Structure 1
Amino acid sequence: MPTLRESILTALHARLSALPATVLRGDVLPERVPAGGLLILRDGEPGEPEVTLSPLAYHYQHRAEIEAVVQGTDRDAAFDTLTASIGTALAANRTLGGLCDWVEAEAPRPVDLPVEGAASLKAAVIPVVLHYSTADPLI
């Protein structure tokens, strides 16, 4: 049986997979960026939990990351569309089916990356904060 943390990350990956971009989890950047864009979900860090003792509970603000990458001549518009679709997908279900207390993305900081012999990439890391509580940090 997967841990709550893994269940949440799997649900987040599934929600992102409904978007028109190619969605990977924990993979390296491929040689070619698909026309619809590329999203790579990184598991991130759960951080130090706040602890309550009665009943015992660990309250996490887990910071996962989504690497968003587009390529092509109209990459500014494509990037804007892709990041807006991420926001819409997260806003549609802020609890990931009841697994989280709240899911919230932070604003991206896009950069243009030149590629020798090809169109430049536009990319950003989008932090996603997953708020959840569990009775055991390993379960």
Structure 2
Amino acid sequence: MRILRETILAALHARLSALPATALRGEVLPERVPAEGLVILRDGEPGEPEVTLSPLAYHYEHRAEIEAVAQGADRDAAFDTLCASIGTALAADRTLGGLCDWFEAEAPRPVDLPIEGAASVKAAVIPVILHYTTADPLA
């Protein structure tokens, strides 16, 4: 039952890296958004676990975030395509190969962001809730 938080987040990032969009982890938004879109995984917050005894186990609902960004003349369609591809990639295996009990994404809340001297971007944060159990809160 020794699941490492980093292992789960790395597996989620690997899943996002298989998308046609550029996938980063914990990076700042670059000056230029690739034509195929950009996703940035933020490690998020594990929150307070529920604890069971005998055997000792910590049950987390870890809240990570995926930032989805599209830019260009047809950014609305590109953004919708990007979000749909993220959804398809995440739904392919809701346990990340057995690393977590379950995970699911919440609906994005898109915003248009003006960029001085460039086309505006359409972006959203997509919360992802990772349910997992570990024997050590520092794992």
Same fold (TM over 0.5): yes
Deviations 1:99-126 (A, max 9, x none): 0000100000000011122111000000
| Counterpart position of 1:28 | 28
Deviations 1:70-91 (A, max 9, x none): 0001111111110111111111
Does residue 52 of the first structure (1) align with residue 84 of the second (2)? no
Structure 1 residue matching 2:34: 3-state secondary structure = coil
1:1-139 equivalent positions in 2, closer than 5 A: 4-139=4-139
Q: Distance in 2 between matches of 1:105 and 1:4?
A: 21
Deviations 1:48-81 (A, max 9, x none): 0000012110000000000111000111111111
Q: Distance in 2 between matches of 1:132 and 1:24?
A: 23
Q: Distance in 1 between matches of 2:15 and 2:86?
A: 9
Structure 2 residue matching 1:80: 3-state secondary structure = helix
Structure 2 residue matching 1:76: 3-state secondary structure = helix
Structure 2 residue matching 1:85: 3-state secondary structure = helix
Q: Distance in 2 between matches of 1:90 and 1:27?
A: 21
Alignment: residue pair count: 138
Structure 1 residue matching 2:131: 3-state secondary structure = strand
TM (norm. structure 2) is 0.97
Q: Distance in 1 between matches of 2:32 and 2:123?
A: 14
The amino acid across from 1:132 in the alignment is Y
Q: Distance in 1 between matches of 2:85 and 2:137?
A: 32
Structure 1 runs of 4+ off > 6 angstroms?
none
The amino acid across from 1:92 in the alignment is A
Question: Structure 2, unaligned stretches of length 5 or more?
Answer: none
